[in-house]
Structure 1
Amino acid sequence: MRLPEFPFLPKDFIETEEGLIFAVVSYHPHEHKVGCFLRYVNDQNGWHKVDTEQANRLLERHHPDYLYYSNQFDATFHAVPVDRIICHHRPEERLQILMHQPAEDPLQQKLHKLITILQRYQVDIDAMGLTGSMLINQQKSTSDIDLVIYGRDAFHQCRQAIQTAIADNQLQKLDKTQMQENYQRRASELDYASFSWHEYRKYNKAMIDGSKFDIGMVCLIDELDIEHRHFLKQGIKTIQCRVTDDSRAFDFPARYQVDNAVTPELISFTHTYVGQVVKGEFIEVCGALECDASGTCRIVVGSSREARGEYIKVVDQK
């Protein structure tokens, strides 16, 4: 699953000697650096989570060497040289450790119960990992359980398991309070009714005994496309189109093929719009127009984690 020469995958955490923990977001190195995003900072009060604005400001002021400009993507993002990493937190290893020891808090108890339920519906624990706060033992009673599923087939099997388990009342769909918190955290450009409608049908998040959990997919190496094209941003564009291929809707980044001749591909770098639309649906998209040297263009939604001013939404179903 991991390449010896570059063993880093999205959803991993990497830690530096300055007391910074980054979430890995890239499958491939960028000039011997790991593409990532700052998530946790250690100060006199211990570890605490930072949002996008806080993360960018902290790096700009104190650690500009962790900011990296990519010619390929015409964007600046966070990146850590491999030799600056003092600890590599791997989700699959963390899950195995926790599942083979007694639960130490209520959230770990719920994790044990959740994994048992998913296994009952034929989900393979060897294709799973644990990321988020539980990966670094920083969870609170109100924390989510963030699962990683490795490989497309395993991921969609897990989505189906969640849907069936909800129907069997083994798991619960997000209640209104949880969905509203999810909506506020994501800061989506959609109104609440539209946001929740799109979310409920994804089956990549649900609840167990009052706690929210979600699943995120990490592709296997042979499922990846190698991207060599260099794109330049051309401003913001809004289009309406029909989805022709949704097979990579839950990838990171999410990819959709559409019937627009100028911009036949949509990409989302924000989890808000992963799995957002289905093949055959007529949709509206607002995002950053990017073109390569050949004139091939695409629309990117999620130039920031919050994707302010950008969205993907269904206008008309099949």
Structure 2
Amino acid sequence: MRQTDFPYLPKDFIETDEGLVFAVISYHPHQQHIGCFLRYVKQDGRWQKVDTDTANRLLERHYPDYLYQSAQFDAAFHAVRPDNVVRHYRPESKLAELMTMLSQDQLTDKLQRLTALFCAAGIASDKLGVTGSVLIDNHGPDSDIDFVVYGRDNFHQVRQVVKESVANGTLKLLDETLMHANYERRQSSLNFDDFAWHEQRKFNKAMLDGSKFDIGMVCFESELEPEHRHFMKCGSQVTRARVIDDQNAFDFPARYSVDHPRTPEVICFTHTYVGQAFAGEIIEVAGAVECDNAGNCRIVVGSSREADGEYIKVITKL
């Protein structure tokens, strides 16, 4: 599952000796660097989560070497050299560790119960992991559980388990309080009702005994599409098109093929709009237009982490 020469995958965390924890966001190295984004800073012996603006200001002032401008994607993110990593947090290893321990708190108990539910449906335990605050032992009773599922087929099988478990009452869809909290955290450009409608049909998040969990997919190497083209920003665009192919809708980045003559691909770098639309639906997309040297163009949603003013919204529902 992991490459020997570059063992880093999205959803991993890496820690540097300055007391910084970055979330890995890229499958492949960028000029011998790990593509990532600063998520936690050590303060008074505990990890403090930081938002995008705070992370960028901190790095600009104190650790500019971790700022990175990608020529290939014409985008800014963070990057760390492997020799600056003092600890590599792997979601599958953390979950395996927690599954062998007696439950130490209510959240860990729920994590173990959810893992057992997924494994009972035929998902191999080594294809599951946990990221977020649990990965670095920074969780509390009100924390979310951030599952990782390795492999596209495994991921969709887990989604089906979530859907069936909601139907039989084992799990519940997010209540209004948790949905509002999710909406505020995501800072979506959609109104709340539209946001909630899209979220409830994805079945990549639900509740167990009042705790929210979500599932994120990490592809196998064989499932990845090679990306060798270099893109440049060419303005912005709001357009409508029909989704032709949604098989990569839950990937990172998510990809949608659409029937638009100028921008036949929509690519999404923000989790907010992953799994947002299905084949046959007409969507409205607001995002940045990128073009390669051959003039092939696409729309990018999530050109910044918060994707301010960028969105994918279903206009004609199936």
Please report the TM-score for the alignment, with normalisation by the length of structure 2: 0.99
CA distance in 2, matches of 1:69, 1:56: 13
The alignment covers a number of residue pairs equal to 318
Task: Give the 3-state SS of the residue equivalent to 2:206 in structure 1.
Answer: strand
> How far is the alpha carbon of 1:45 from its aligned partner?
5.2
Q: In structure 2, what is the equivalent of residue 119 of structure 1?
A: 119
CA distance in 2, matches of 1:123, 1:45: 37
CA distance in 1, matches of 2:167, 2:218: 26
Indicate conservation of the 8 Å contact 2:46/2:138, yes or no: no
> How far is the alpha carbon of 1:317 from its aligned partner?
1.8
Q: In structure 1, what is the equivalent of residue 259 of structure 2?
A: 259
Hey, which bits of structure 1, 4+ residues long, moved more than 4 A? none
Indicate conservation of the 8 Å contact 1:117/1:170, yes or no: no
CA distance in 2, matches of 1:274, 1:234: 23
CA distance in 2, matches of 1:141, 1:317: 37
Could you give the per-residue CA deviations for residues 269-315 of structure 1, whole angstroms, max 9, x where no partner exists?
00000000000001100000000110000000001121100000000
Q: In structure 1, what is the equivalent of residue 282 of structure 2?
A: 282
CA distance in 2, matches of 1:167, 1:225: 34
Q: In structure 1, what is the equivalent of residue 176 of structure 2?
A: 176
Q: One-letter code of the match for 1:94? A: K
CA distance in 2, matches of 1:47, 1:130: 17
Indicate conservation of the 8 Å contact 1:123/1:161, yes or no: no
2:62 is equivalent to residue 54 of structure 1: no
CA distance in 1, matches of 2:282, 2:148: 30
Moved more, 39-48 or 197-206: 39-48
CA distance in 1, matches of 2:101, 2:69: 43
Indicate conservation of the 8 Å contact 2:174/2:212, yes or no: yes
Equivalent residue runs for 1:22-41 within 5 Å: 22-41=22-41
Equivalent residue runs for 1:118-137 within 5 Å: 118-137=118-137
CA distance in 2, matches of 1:222, 1:122: 21
Q: One-letter code of the match for 1:191? A: N
CA distance in 1, matches of 2:89, 2:16: 11
> How far is the alpha carbon of 1:261 from its aligned partner?
1.2
Task: Give the 3-state SS of the residue equivalent to 1:260 in structure 2.
Answer: coil
CA distance in 1, matches of 2:6, 2:117: 33
> How far is the alpha carbon of 1:57 from its aligned partner?
0.8
CA distance in 1, matches of 2:212, 2:305: 20
2:129 is equivalent to residue 149 of structure 1: no
Q: In structure 2, what is the equivalent of residue 2 of structure 1?
A: 2
Q: In structure 1, what is the equivalent of residue 308 of structure 2?
A: 308
> How far is the alpha carbon of 1:59 from its aligned partner?
0.6
Task: Give the 3-state SS of the residue equivalent to 2:14 in structure 1.
Answer: strand
Task: Give the 3-state SS of the residue equivalent to 1:266 in structure 2.
Answer: strand
Identity across the alignment (%): 59
Indicate conservation of the 8 Å contact 1:243/1:281, yes or no: yes
CA distance in 2, matches of 1:260, 1:194: 23
Equivalent residue runs for 1:70-219 within 5 Å: 70-219=70-219
Please report the TM-score for the alignment, with normalisation by the length of structure 1: 0.99
Q: In structure 1, what is the equivalent of residue 231 of structure 2?
A: 231
CA distance in 2, matches of 1:118, 1:225: 27
Q: Can you give the 5+ residue segments of structure 2 that lack an aligned partner in the other structure?
A: none
CA distance in 1, matches of 2:274, 2:242: 17
CA distance in 1, matches of 2:80, 2:278: 36
CA distance in 1, matches of 2:86, 2:119: 34
2:66 is equivalent to residue 66 of structure 1: yes
CA distance in 1, matches of 2:191, 2:123: 34
2:295 is equivalent to residue 295 of structure 1: yes
CA RMSD after TM alignment: 0.8
